[in-house]
Amino acid sequence: MYHAFFDKVLTRTDPERAHHAAFRAIRAARPVTGLRRTPGEPVRALGLTFPNVLGLAAGFDKNAVGIDGLGALGFGHVEIGTVTGEAQPGNPQPRLFRLPDDRAVVNRMGFNNDGAEVVAARLASRGRRPGPVLGVNIGKSKVVPEDEAVRDYEKSARLLAPYADYLVVNVSSPNTPGLRNLQAVEKLEPILTSVQRIADGVPLLVKIAPDLADDDVLGVADLALATGLDGIIATNTTISRAGLRSPAAEVEEIGAGGLSGRPLTDRSLEVMRLLRGRVGPDLTLIGVGGITTVEDARARLDAGATLLQGYTAFIYEGPLWPRRIVRGVSS
């Protein structure tokens, strides 16, 4: 039923408008969905107990307004953000596009969010409560020059770490000018070191792009081990448009942005194998990118993922998708 509704109704609705409507419905439904037991088996990682293996990737709940409603759908963890030190409106609309033939999404949102101060106040008023593990994903403010990125990440970490079960440094979105330059080890290390100091014991991970060369993926793995990082999230969206089924003219008309969904499956799986082979068995690795089916999820776990995340499949498959994936990998 959801697939028919998506294909006949939602595909004719502006994607960003549809997202906001769906999110309102998720929040409104929480008194009912919250009565259902969280599916799956607990996973111990980052010194935390995750209710199950599957989480919602950053980008859906940018401003920490629907954590518990999302958890009630079956996600064992919810990663909010990306939150920046300064509030920002993001890029001009339209900035979110569907490629249904590829079960993919292109976004150039540009880290639109309320800013670290407002989100921190929202989390403070929510308080600590049972529910999904809470991740907080932080990124660089667009107005902050690249050479002042450390200061910007420090501000977000200082405000948000007290409310996070884990923190993620995002240096891999293609939609903030210069951000991906920060994945270079010599630029990434001072950011991670500074945020680690401020986070004061809150587990810290870094999120990387699938477009990194294999040697650079291994370089980030080595840096994670050298700095005592708690984990790596692989991968963010891609700027590649290779191998798409969608008409080339449609893809070209959409323009720039990060591509997510099924086209990422193979590369994200490959990056996971590279990382696990380099870091050994103990570092927490979260697999995200192109996980749609139970088979995709199992393959990512077999490649070395400790935990999984999804986003685009949630859009295409609907509100029952999280429970279906969790039950599938638990059986």
The answer on whether 113 is annotated among ligand-binding residues is: no
316 appears as a binding residue in the annotation: no
Residue ranges of the alpha helices (H) in 48-107?
Answer: 67-71
Distance CA 111, CA 98 (A): 18
155 labelled as ligand-binding? no
Q: Is 170 annotated as a binding residue?
A: yes
- Pseudo-torsion of CA 157, 38, 71, 267, nearest 10°? 70
Residue 173 is a catalytic residue: yes
Between CA 255 and CA 211 the distance in angstroms is 18
Q: Among 173, 246, 330, 331, which one carries the catalytic annotation?
A: 173
Q: Has 110 been labeled as part of a binding site?
A: yes
Is 52 labeled as ligand-binding?
A: no
Q: Tell me: is residue 215 an annotated ligand-binding position.
A: no
Whether 81 has a binding-site annotation, put simply, is no
Question: Counting Cβ atoms within 10 Å, is residue 186 exposed (0-12), middle (13-18) or buried (19+)?
Answer: exposed
- List b or e across 7-34, with b for residues whose CB sees 16 or more CB atoms inside 10 angstroms: eeebeeeebbebbeebbeebbeebeebe
Does the annotation place 109 within a ligand binding site?
yes
Spatial distance between the Cα atoms of 158 and 140, rounded to a whole number of angstroms = 14
Annotated binding site for FMN: 58-62, 82, 137, 170, 207, 235, 261, 290, 311-312
Annotated binding site: 58-62, 82, 107-111, 137, 170, 175, 207, 235-237, 261, 290, 311-312
Annotated binding site for substrate: 62, 107-111, 170, 175, 236-237
Q: Which positions are annotated as active-site residues?
A: 173
